[in-house]
Amino acid sequence: MKKIKSDILELPNMGQVTARKLALIGITTKQQFLDSDPYALFAQLLEKVDPTLCRCALGGIIGAHEGKKWNEVRARAAEEFIKRFPKQADAFGFSKKKW
């Protein structure tokens, strides 16, 4: 696989795999990422790139946006995602019990 070379990798929780997935939805720089709604980005990733993403991936995206480690925000991020994107949460099997 082609290695991503971008300042997006400077963000916490951001590695090659996540950077490649974000590039597939048009997010290739740190500034593009920070200017975007991270919950909407996660919803797009679920729908367009990887329907198997879990709450740890969500925590990684939200944590990168907030400058925190993924495990510090995982539970709160999951609750917020379910509130903000209930249709996607339901469609991809994200019930409160599963999170």
pLDDT, tens digit, for every residue of 22-71?
Answer: 999 999 999 999 999 999 999 999 999 999 999 899 999 999 999 999 99
Lowest-confidence region among 8-12, 61-65, 88-92 = 88-92
Instruction: State how far the Cα of 5 lies from the Cα of 37, in Å rounded to an integer.
Output: 23
Per the structure, the count of domains in the chain is 1
Sorting pLDDT into bands at 50, 70 and 90, what band is 91? confident
Q: Assess whether pLDDT exceeds 80 at residue 13.
A: yes
**Which residue segment(s) compose the domain that 78 sits in?**
7-91
Residue 96 lies in a domain: no
In 3D, which of 48, 43, 35, 54 has the Cα closest to residue 81?
Answer: 43
Residue 2 lies in a domain: no
Six-digit token pair at 54?
């879990």
Residue 63 lies in a domain: yes
